[in-house]
Amino acid sequence: MSTDGTTIVWFRGDLRVRDNPALHAAAARGDAIVCLYVLDDESAGIRPLGAASRWWLHGSLTALAGELRELGLPLTLRRGPAEAVVRAVVGETEATAVLWNRRYGEAERAVDAALKSSLRDDGLMVESFQASVLFEPWTVLTGQGGYYRVFTPFWRSVTSGPPPRHPVPAPAVSVARGGVATGAVTEADADAPPLRHRRVDSDDLDSWALHPTRPDWAAGLRERWEPGSAGAHERLRSFLRSGLGRYVDEQDLPAEDGTSGLSPHLRFGEISPFEVWHAVEQHRARVPGDASGASAFLRQLVWREFAYHLLFHLPSITTENMRPEFDRFPWEEPDAAELERWQQGRTGIPLVDAGMRELWQTGVMHNRVRMVAASFLVKNLRVDWRVGEAWFWDTLVDADPASNALNWQWVAGSGPDAAPYFRVFNPELQARKFDEHGSYIARYVPEAGTDAYPEPMVDLAESRRAALDAYATIR
């Protein structure tokens, strides 16, 4: 089918050309395509990105623009409240169709629903697709028709149903116009209609100032990461080659490179969970020795699904205690100087400090240490989990509205299926168990054990007791 019309593909948390059903469907329509990304810091309820995520987004959009260029498609950048911006681009291009991949946050869904209905009222074709989660939240329900509040039954339910669909290829580049079609990112398809684009005014990415300048704190991030699909697929390949077989033994060891490092790539949709899922399944079929690593890894991947399941069914998870008794918890008002000690990794507790410094330097923290550093804040310092969540939101390159909130509530004990409040991680025991040789701590806190290192800001045993006493008042 080839028409004179224009189709807008609105990119959001799906910054890729492979396994992008909205882009794929646009290509199949044969219209001229406008690829649009909107930086929306203004729509009601949309949480502005944190600083580390903004840094990542710059790299991710640069990479996406490069991939689209290979298909002969420019990327149009606009800024403002998404509904108004998309409508403006529809007006400028006289588009007849708008396609996107679905989002699951409450505010995002409200924007999308309003836009869908107003565009349809105007006679446009609007279609949305499943791309960012393997199991859409409304398709996984308990026997009573409700949603899951506990992970294991959720996992059982999703793994007893049909497997996730296979990834769709990138649009073919058979007759890509206006760009250099190398074919590097796609499969040539002789039957595919030519990809045509419609050029519209675009912001200059640099004008969005997503990168920090004064000071430029992003050197460690640049060293560790390559935002974009190429970096994501390289990480997946290397993890399958040498990480998956060791995953069961090493996933909890922060000194090792024992996990995939895919979280920021998944967060921005540079690789899809479908691509990851099927690559792991294919690897498992080829290398049966890695089967237990594959199962353990897919289970972790499904924690991300569970987080989105809860975000959809219980949107208040991002800001409110899931267990209402925690509304009465006597949190300590954080003193700015104390909070800074935690944020900057100067608590005097080596594993906590190592984690907080890893976060500041690289934009991520190992999962095991995230649990320990979060537990220290919420329990030993008795600071409300939302304070820690906000710091992670600002500093993590994988900061994710669903996973961040769920995990903080899990550590705090205020969520469903949470670690009970009385389980207070002991950072010293955790260090002995998971950083046996002290190499993770030595990497980030080389002065630990010398006079230059601060005394612990609280006594671990005493503050644990105080936390349990505080908990007793709300039980």
Annotation-wise, does 11 bind a ligand?
no
- Is 18 within 8 Å of 167 (Cβ atoms)? yes
By beta-carbon proximity to ligand FAD, the closer residue of 322 and 411 is 411
* Interface of this chain with ligand FAD, residues 377 to 406, rule: CB under 6 A: 392, 396, 398-400, 403-404
19 is a site residue for ligand FAD (CB under 6 A): no
Taking residues 187 to 206 in sequence order and writing x for each that binds ligand FAD by CB under 6 A, - otherwise, the string is --------------------
104 φ, ψ (degrees, to nearest 5): -125, -5
Is 131 one of the annotated binding-site residues? Answer: no
Q: The tokens 């646009």 sit on which residue?
A: 26
For tokens 């298909």, name the residue.
71
HEC states along 18-44? CCCHHHHHHHHHCCEEEEEEEECCCCC
d(CA 437, CA 440): 8
| For ligand FAD, the closer CB: 19 or 400 | 400
The reply on whether position 307 binds ligand FAD by CB under 6 A is yes
Nearer to ligand FAD, 71 or 399 (CB): 399
- Greatest pairwise CA separation for the chain in angstroms: 74
Q: Which of residues 262-281 bind ligand FAD (CB under 6 A)?
A: 262-263, 266-267
Residue 300 as a binder of ligand FAD (CB under 6 A): the answer is yes
Ligand-binding annotation for 147, yes or no, is no
Choose which of 33, 371, 383, 445 interacts with ligand FAD (CB under 6 A).
371
> Could you give the CA distance from residue 475 to residue 409 in angstroms, rounded to a whole number?
17
Query: At which residue do the structure tokens 């919420």 appear?
Result: 378
Q: Closer to ligand FAD at the Cβ: 6 or 260?
A: 260
Contacts of 289 (CB under 8 A, 6+ apart): 245
Listed residue (157, 170, 104) closest to 133, CA to CA = 104
Is 260 annotated as contributing to ligand binding?
yes
Closest by CA to 431, choosing from 363, 364, 366, 344, is 366
| Binding residue (CB under 6 A) for ligand FAD from 84, 110, 168, 301 | 301
Residues annotated in a binding site for FAD = 247, 259-263, 297, 398-400
- Interface with ligand FAD by CB under 6 A: which residues? 251, 259-263, 266-267, 300-301, 303-304, 307, 367, 370-371, 374, 392, 396, 398-400, 403-404, 407-408, 411
Residues annotated in a binding site = 247, 259-263, 297, 398-400
